[in-house]
């Protein structure tokens, strides 16, 4: 995988995902034992942030430090992008200084342009289309807790956004059944679903989309949700709250899942909207394990591509 850019989990084979997860497990174990692993000593990662973040910034910055490298935080105001320099020139210039680029952006095309013009690996830290780093952390966390992928059912409830797209690709590749319960007009990209269904068929699982949250959650091993209003959609919030209210993950809904279900959320959570405190803080909730595992899976990704 050396030198590879990662725009989406669509870009990765099942074997490559397994390699990332295996490497993440090794690095996590070494960290817990207090063992140093300066595998990226002397290397630098440029981190471009069009959108602010807690987990993405801290996990990449700490991860590079733990690997012996250096992470350089660059907001839109820190770059000439804010004054009209195009993506191509920015990518070509940064490639002369750093060993890798991570970008958290609004438009997915920005990621594709960075990859096209950069001569160093580019990692999508989030775009409006997909969130591969979150998807990898989610798969790693699921395997940690369940010790398998095959035969599991993941129910995703709410707005089928960038996180949902990553989960669709990831579940299809790893053999996890996935059912999405979304309001009409807020379902996943049809092309993503079509591609994933073909992949799922090869791996013995199904990708199903329904408007019925109860149908989606019934007998689920994992119940997953995300915010109803993503960054940049704040003006739609009053409208979305009304539409998504029946899709709240609460104690009544999760009773339809298996007793040992796992509750997952990529965070930040708008408690009282997409999820209640009762579920988010329950013994079934693994939301902070997910958050921690962003660190370990991203370190694995950095080591393998840089």
Residue 133 is among the residues annotated as catalytic for this protein: no
Catalytic residue among 133, 171, 266, 296: 266
Tokens at residue 102, please? 């991570």
Active site residue 294: yes
171 is known as an active-site residue: no
Determine how β-strand 177-181 pairs with β-strand 207-210: parallel
3-state secondary structure of 283: coil
Sign of CA dihedral 176, 182, 186, 187: positive
3-state percent helix, strand, coil for the chain, nearest multiple of 5: 50, 15, 35
Catalytic residue among 10, 55, 108, 131: 131
Query: What angle (nearest 5°) sits at the alpha carbon of residue 50, between those of residues 156 and 269?
Result: 35
How far, CA to CA in Å, does 229 sit from each of 160, 243, 268? 11, 11, 11
147 φ/ψ sector (left φ>0, alpha ψ -120 to 50, else beta): left
What are 271's two structure tokens? 């408690």
- In the set 177, 240, 294, 296, the catalytic residue is 294
Is 226 an annotated catalytic residue?
Answer: yes
134 classed as catalytic? yes
Q: Cα–Cα distance between 115 and 218 in angstroms, integer?
A: 40
The position carrying tokens 């074997």 is: 15
Q: Are 293 and 140 in contact (CB under 8 A)?
A: yes
Q: Check if the beta carbon of residue 256 is closer than 8 Å to that of residue 111.
A: no
- Please name the residue that has the structure tokens 């438009």: 107
Residue of 134, 248, 290, 298 with catalytic role: 134
Chain centroid to Cα 88, Å, comes to 26
Q: Is 271 a catalytic residue?
A: no
CA angle, corner 134, sides to 132 and 139, nearest 5? 95
Q: Does residue 166 contact residue 192 with C-beta atoms inside 8 Å?
A: no
- Supply the residues annotated as catalytic: 104, 131, 134, 226, 266, 294
């Amino acid at each position: 995988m050396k030198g590879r850019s990662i725009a989406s989990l669509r870009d990765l084979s099942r074997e490559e995902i397994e390699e990332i997860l295996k490497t993440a497990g090794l690095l996590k174990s070494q960290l817990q034992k207090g063992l140093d692993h300066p595998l990226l000593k002397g290397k630098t990662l440029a981190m471009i942030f069009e959108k602010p973040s807690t987990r993405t910034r801290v996990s990449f910055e700490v991860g590079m430090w733990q690997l012996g490298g250096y992470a350089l935080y660059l907001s839109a105001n820190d770059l000439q992008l804010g004054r009209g320099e195009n993506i191509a020139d920015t990518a070509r210039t940064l490639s002369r200084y750093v060993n890798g680029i991570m970008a958290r952006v609004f438009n997915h095309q920005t990621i594709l342009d960075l990859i096209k013009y950069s001569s160093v690996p580019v990692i999508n830290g989030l775009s409006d289309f997909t969130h591969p780093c979150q998807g990898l952390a989610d798969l790693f966390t699921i395997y940690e807790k369940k010790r398998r992928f095959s035969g599991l059912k993941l129910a995703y409830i709410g707005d089928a956004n960038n996180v949902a797209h990553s989960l669709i690709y990831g579940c299809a590749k790893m053999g996890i059944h996935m059912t999405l319960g979304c309001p009409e007009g807020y379902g996943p990209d049809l092309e993503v679903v079509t591609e994933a269904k073909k992949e799922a068929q090869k791996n013995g699982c199904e990708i199903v989309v329904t408007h019925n949250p109860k149908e989606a959650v019934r007998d689920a091993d994992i119940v997953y949700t995300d915010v109803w209003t993503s960054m940049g959609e704040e003006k739609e919030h009053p409208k979305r709250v009304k539409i998504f209210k029946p899709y709240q993950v609460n104690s009544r809904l999760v009773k339809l899942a298996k007793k040992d279900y796992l509750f997952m959320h990529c965070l930040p959570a708008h408690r009282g909207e997409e999820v209640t405190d009762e579920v988010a803080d329950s013994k079934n909730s693994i939301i902070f394990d997910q958050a921690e595992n962003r660190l370990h899976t991203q370190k694995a990704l950095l080591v393998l591509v840089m």
